[in-house]
Structures are given as C-alpha cells and as structure tokens.
Amino acid sequence: MAETSPQWLMEFADLAAPSIRYRWNQSQLRAFRVFGCSRAGGSLSGLKPRVLIVEDEPFIAMMLEEHLLDAGCEVAGTAPNLEKGLALAGSTEMDLAILDMILGSQPSFPVADILAARGIPFMFASGFGSNSLPEEHRGQLVLNKPFHYPDLVKSLKLALGSRFTLEPSV
C-alpha cells in the first residue's frame, strides 16, 4: 500500500521539480534518507526534528512537549501506554523518540526494539539510570529523571548529532 509523502518531501519535490508529485512507500522513504538527501541533510536545512514521546505520566508528557517545542522540535506523537507506543513506533515518521523506561508496570523495551529495527534513534527517560537497561539496550542515551530543560536540550543534541540544528529558547 503506497503512503502519501510527508509534507517536507512534497515541498522538496516541488522545489526540485514543481510539475512532479511523488508517492513514496516506507522503503522508498528510507532509501531517500540513506542516500544523503534526508530531512536531516544539509540540503534541507531549517527543518525541525520530529520527536515521538512515549510517557505514561500526563504531566511529564506535557512538560516534554513544551520543552521540545521550545527547543525547536516538532512532536510527532505522544503515547501514554505500551500499546499505543508500539503502534506509533511502527507507523510514525520521526527523527527521534523519547521513551519512559517503565510505562505503568510494563517496560518500554518492545517499543525500543521496533525503533532500533527501523533505524530510528531513541533515548530512555528514567529515574533508574542506565544500569537498569537490559543488555541489548546498554549504551543507549538515558535522560535522567527528574530533568530540566537544559538537560533535555543537551540530550537532544547528543541523540540527533549534526543532523539538525536546534534553536532552543532561553
């Protein structure tokens, strides 16, 4: 089933060849990114990174959304539980995900596995620290709770690398 191209791709296609409209499926979009002309590529500067939030505490999720917007990101979606997190991780176009390590009583590691399989970077948010990660996720970035805006911006820069330039507010 073909997927409608994301808005940024349509705008890029219009700039490159205004008379042509593309419909891309997931593998074509992935190939488009892999071969150097991605949302994060230098030729498409000024684009905001899209971040998925998987967090079961509503207050923390709202705070993350505000902080992400202040940092110059777009929120790709918010999942309050494992079920919705799994659905969004498998279907949402994003550049990064922030996963609460424990959603209620369930670990978010199955969401991390989907993101890893899709090649999407992610970080965990947790009060337990990186020592509580299972072996397959050791080395992943952990945003330690409680965190403040500067901590989030620093973690975003580490996770996104040079693919995006964040424009954080003060």
Q: Which residues pair with 18 in a beta bridge?
A: none
- On whether residue 13 sits in a domain, the answer given is yes
d(Cα 123, Cα 96) in Å, to the nearest integer? 8
Q: Where in the sequence is the domain holding 36, given as residue range(s)?
A: 7-44
15 and 35 part of one domain: yes
Same domain, 121 and 81: yes
Residue 77 dihedral angles phi and psi, to the nearest 5°: 165, 165
| CB atoms inside a 10 Å sphere around CB 148 | 9
Q: Which residues, 6 or more positions from 135, have their beta carbon under 8 angstroms from its beta carbon?
A: none
The tens digit of pLDDT for each residue in 149-163 reads 999 999 999 999 888
Domain presence at residue 169? no
Which CATH number is 108's domain given? 3.40.50.2300
Give pTM, 2 decimals.
0.72
State pLDDT tens for residues 31-72: 444 443 444 333 234 588 999 999 999 999 999 999 999 999
Domain presence at residue 167: no
